[in-house]
A and B are shown apart, each in its own frame.
Chain A
Amino acid sequence: MRQMAQLAKAVDSRDPAVGLAAVASLRTLVDELEALHVDNARRCGWSWQAIADLLGVTRQSAHKKHRDDRRRGQR
């Protein structure tokens, strides 16, 4: 906990650039955690509908976002 306070003090928390970057960082973290838990649910045999219901999104959008396509890394 003390370490966290030190980290936070290293930057000016009222600086909009810091605040906005922090929110962007949090969004990426949420995306990564979502991917982690969707992977887990799929491994446990959950349907896309069940996953989407708990995420509060439609089945289509959950599937579109998380289906495992291997095309990442190609530009």
Chain B
Amino acid sequence: MNPIERLDQSARQVVEAAHHQAASLGDQVVMTEHLLLALASADNDTASLLQDAGVSAAALRQAVAPHSGRRPGHETLLATLGIDLAEVRRQAEETFGAEGVARAVARVRPPRPRRPLRPWISCSNPLPTPRRDSPLTGEALETIPRVNGILKRATRDAQPNPATATHLLLALVTGNEPAGELLTEFGVNLHALAASTRRRLDDHDGAGGRQAG
């Protein structure tokens, strides 16, 4: 089953924001760092938990950005062939609407990677794999398995309720993820952050229980 269906509104917004973060950094796939950036920029508990732990969205973005988008984007590549991608996008959207374009693009299956993707740390030496974002919409098409792993763990922790953005943060912090290593580079104590995130979840559960009762 698609883990997205087991996420609540806040968590879905975070996943969507992670896609935007990847696209805006010129990255081809959604990685755990993008998820962390989205959690830090989100308009909910996760941003304040990370803020209390000593990391801001702006600082995270600065740490991730230099390793991102090293490879030329679709606009640049197609410009070398004499194709004005901005104009192609404009025409397509004008004729069929942004929704129609998004629907068609979602149907195109991106090529599967021949080799496993390296973590972003190694992006200084990029592998010659095809870009996996969409030329027509400019958005990252896929998430790496690690991100899906976080979503799955979060939904498992949250059962029987849908997982919230806070569950996503807990799964990311406790999962020995590359994004967790990034946090420790900021001097964050992952155990302490996991504990405060759990406390926040317990508070919410308690409040929810009282409301229900």
Contacts and interface: CB of A to CB of B under 8 A. Distances in A.
Given A36-B92, A36-B101, A36-B104, A18 B77 contact: yes
Contacts of A33: 88, 92, 136
Contacts, number: 100
A interface, size bucket? 35 or more
B135 A29 contact: yes
Interface in B80-95: 80-86, 88, 92
Contacts of B107: 35, 39, 66, 68, 72
A72 B80 contact: no
Nearest to B75: A7
A29 B136 contact: yes
B146 interface: no
B96 A26 contact: no
A4 B105 CA distance: 23
A39 B95 CA distance: 13
The binding surface of chain B is classed by DSSP as helix
Q: In terms of DSSP, what is the predominant structure of the interface of chain A? A: helix
B100 A39 contact: yes
A21 B77 CA distance: 7
A33 B100 CA distance: 11
A32 B80 contact: no
A68 B104 CA distance: 10
A35 B105 contact: yes
A63 to B, nearest CB: 13
B77 A25 contact: yes
B136 A32 contact: yes
A3 B75 CA distance: 10
A72 B79 CA distance: 30
Nearest to A66: B107
A26 B72 contact: no
Contact of B72 (A1, A10, A66, A68): A10
B127 to A, nearest CB: 11
A4 B76 CA distance: 8
A65 B79 CA distance: 28
Given A35-B104, A35-B108, A72-B106, A29 B80 contact: no
A8 B76 contact: yes
Nearest to A11: B72
A67 to B, nearest CB: 10
20 contacts: A7-B76, A10-B72, A10-B76, A11-B72, A11-B76, A17-B128, A20-B128, A22-B77, A25-B77, A25-B131, A26-B81, A28-B108, A28-B130, A28-B131, A31-B108, A32-B105, A36-B92, A36-B101, A73-B2, A75-B148
Ranked nearest first, the 7 interchain pairs of A and B with the lowest CB-CB distance are: A7-B79, A36-B104, A22-B77, A35-B104, A29-B135, A8-B79, A25-B77
